[in-house]
Amino acid sequence: MTGGAMDPLPAAAVTAAAEAEADEEADAPAADLPMPQASEGRDPEPGRMQVPQGNPLLLAHTLQELLARDSVQVELIPEKKGLFLKHVEYEVSSQRFKSCVYRRYNDFVVFHELLLQKFPYRMVPALPPKRMLGADREFIEGRRRALKRFVNLVARHPPFSEDVVLKLFLSFSGPDVQSRLKEAAQCTGDEFLTCKLAPRAKDFLPADVQTQFALSRELIRNVYNSFHKLRDRAERMASRAIDNAADLLTFGKELSALGSDTTPLPSWAALHSSTWGSLKQALKGLSVEFAVLADKAAQQGRQEESDVVEKLNLFLDLLQSYKDLCERHEKGVLHRHQRALRKYSLMKRQMSAAAHGHEPESVEQLESRIVEENAIQTMELRNHFSLYCLHQEMQLVHAYLPLTSHILGAFVNSQIQGHKEMSKVWNDLKPKLHCLFVGPSSTLTPPRSPRDGLSPH
């Protein structure tokens, strides 16, 4: 994925350029793509993947290990009125840091931007959209759930979980958290500069890395599409359970209203006044059972939203972040690398033409050539490190795959428990229906089976 062949560069020139760019790194923008300083004295954060035993490209994280890193809760707190508009605050509590802090949506935005700056070659989940006006309760609740998924994916990501920016976001309770986050992020460069393996990332990549990248991208696209359909169906089933609860509650209220009707009977119906009175009394009592049925159906719907739909959304957020990372790789470092190669090739042709014309190279031309060569070398290293990170991120996606069995287990258990509880209420309700069926001589004769329908026999 280098985009073309490149002449080997003198080792001394590369080393000198690396040292010079490392000195200027603190002031250089991210787009300048500085070289990593391999001989840097400071110790990187312990969570960074440095040089472990064996092949550092291979990770051995299990789903249980990732989930055990932290569990973060994000809850809404009562709305506060600003000078002009209301704003929403969230209570963010971390099990790992034993902390509870308050954050606004804009704090999440700054945190997200800093993660992208520090870890441009890792899966950074997207944030839910910001809605300026007309944010109803449904939108606010949906955004709260999305923020919870975002911060849990970040808190469980191996490189992110040991970064100082994450710790500040989850535990700093002082004023102006955004400034503190930015200050902490300015102390070091991106992961390419702090990872000792960055200059040697190419050595750990498989020979067919480009083929593997294409296959991984296609696999994730297909898995994402399937899980998206599963999520939509699970969402509809949970919604139907909640709608069913509302219908059962309304059904019971209508029965109660019918049983509470005080309209006097006309004279020609006086013969059946006792029958109607008994029916009304029975109908009025049935509303309690239907209210219980409605509550059970609503519980099942909420449980499926929490244990099934939300877990599917979590996995979809992870898959989407990998797709976004692939796009950043192609449109970012790879695109800049290929563009620099074309520019360098053009410059070499111009210099070659000048040499054939016996025109000596000026000092400016030589300096320009050295700078261009070093920039290309840096971008090539970044390209390899980007592929190195993509390979590891794909392994993290696979580590989350067993979440599928958790989701299916939660769905099956919810269905079993829901039907079991509702079946018990229906069975308790059945004996109370006997007084609704009046046979000859005013005896109560309910149907023997559903097949009997309304037959008096």
- Residue 94, pLDDT > 80, answer yes
Q: Do residues 408 and 233 make contact, with C-beta atoms less than 8 angstroms apart?
A: no
pTM value surpassing 0.85? no
Most confident region among 3-7, 36-40, 133-137 by mean pLDDT: 133-137
Which tokens go with 275? 């029958």
Classify residue 413: in a domain, yes or no: yes
pLDDT for residue 53: 56
| 252/171 same-domain check | no
**Together in a domain, 257 and 164:** no
Q: Which residues contact 148 (CB under 8 A, 6 or more apart)?
A: 72, 73, 74
Do 392 and 248 fall into the same domain?
A: yes
Q: pLDDT confidence of 133, banded at 50, 70, 90?
A: low
User: Between these two residues, 441 and 139, which has the higher pLDDT value?
Assistant: 139
Please say if the pLDDT value at position 24 is more than 70.
no
Assigned domain for 23 exists: no
Q: Which two tokens mark 405?
A: 């069995």
Do both 249 and 382 map to the same domain? yes
pLDDT of residue 265: 72
- Together in a domain, 424 and 286: yes
With respect to residue 287, please indicate whether it lies within any of the assigned structural domains: yes
Task: State the average pLDDT over residues 2-6.
Answer: 38
Element (H, E) at 93: strand 86-94
Instruction: Identify whether residues 179 and 258 lie together within a single domain.
Output: no
Rounded average pLDDT over 57-78? 93
pLDDT at 161 over 70: yes
Note whether 172 and 253 are same-domain residues: no
The least confident of 140-154, 212-226, 362-376 is 362-376
Q: Can you tell me the distance from the alpha carbon of 386 to that of 325, in angstroms, rounded to the nearest whole number?
A: 9
Highest mean pLDDT among 40-44, 175-179, 438-442: 175-179
Residue 5 lies in a domain: no
Summarised one tens digit per residue, pLDDT across range 386-406 is 999 999 999 999 999 999 999
Mean pLDDT of 419-435: 87
Residue 449 lies in a domain: no
Question: What is the rounded (10 degree) CA torsion for 158, 159, 162, 165?
Answer: -130
If asked whether residues 119 and 174 sit together in one domain, one would say yes
Give the model confidence (pLDDT) of 240-249 as tens digits.
Answer: 999 999 999 9
| Cα 385 from Cα 191, distance rounded (Å) | 10
Beta strands in 297-422 (DSSP E): none
Alpha carbons 102 and 76: distance in angstroms, whole number: 10
Q: Among 2-11, 76-85, 90-99, 272-281, where is mean pLDDT lowest?
A: 2-11
Query: Token pair for residue 270?
Result: 């006086």
Output the pLDDT for position 275: 74
Domain-embedded: residue 93: yes
- Helix (H/G/I), strand (E/B), else coil: 36: coil
HEC secondary structure over 105-135: HHHHHHHHHHHHHHCCCCCCCCCCCCCCCCC
Last residue of a domain, one of 163, 194, 225: 194
Asked whether residue 8 is domain-assigned, the answer is no
Give the percent of the chain with pLDDT over 70: 70
Extract the tokens encoding 267: 């004279």
442: left (phi over 0), alpha (psi -120 to 50) or beta: left
pLDDT for 238 equals: 95
Q: Return the number of other C-beta atoms located less than 10 Å from residue 383's C-beta.
A: 23
Query: Are residues 160 and 256 both part of a single domain?
Result: no
- If one compares 214 and 3, the residue with the highest pLDDT of the two is 214
- CB within 8 Å of 367: residues ≥ 6 apart: none
Beta bridge partners of 99: 94
Q: Which residue has the higher pLDDT, 231 or 451?
A: 231
- How many domains are there within the chain? 2
Torsion of CA 137, 143, 144, 148, to 10 degrees: 160
Distance, CA of 155 to CA of 166 (rounded, Å)? 7
Residues 160 and 286 in one domain: no
Domain that holds residue 187: 63-194
Question: Given the DSSP bridges, would you call strands 86-94 and 72-81 parallel, antiparallel or unpaired?
Answer: antiparallel
Burial category of 116 from C-beta neighbours within 10 Å (exposed 0-12, middle 13-18, buried 19 and up): middle
* CA separation for the pair 407, 400 (Å, rounded): 12
Asked if the structure places residue 296 within a domain, the reply is yes
Contacts 24+ apart (CB under 8 A), 137-145: 140/76, 140/88, 141/76, 143/105, 144/74, 144/75, 144/76, 144/90, 145/310, 145/313
CATH of residue 178's domain is 3.30.1520.10
Q: Are residues 186 and 295 in the same domain?
A: no
As a whole number, the mean pLDDT across the chain is: 80
Angle at 355 (CA atoms; ends 353, 361), nearest 5 degrees: 115
pLDDT on residue 444: 47
Looking at residue 16, its pLDDT comes to 39
Give the pLDDT band of residue 20 (cuts 50, 70, 90): very low
Residues 257 and 185 in one domain: no
pLDDT class of 131 with cuts at 50, 70, 90: confident
In terms of pLDDT, which residue wins out, 366 or 290?
290
Which of 27-36, 171-180, 205-214 is the least confident region?
27-36
Which of the four pLDDT bands, split at 50, 70 and 90, describes residue 442?
Answer: very low
Asked if 317 contacts 125 with a C-beta cutoff of 8 angstroms, the reply is yes
pLDDT at 446: 55
With cut-offs at 50, 70 and 90, classify the pLDDT of residue 35. Answer: very low
- Summarised one tens digit per residue, pLDDT across range 308-360 is 999 999 999 999 999 999 999 988 765 565 555 555 565 555 555 555 555 55
CATH for 408: 1.20.1270
For residues 409 and 412, give the distance between their C-alpha atoms in angstroms, rounded to a whole number: 5
Q: What is the pLDDT of residue 434?
A: 73
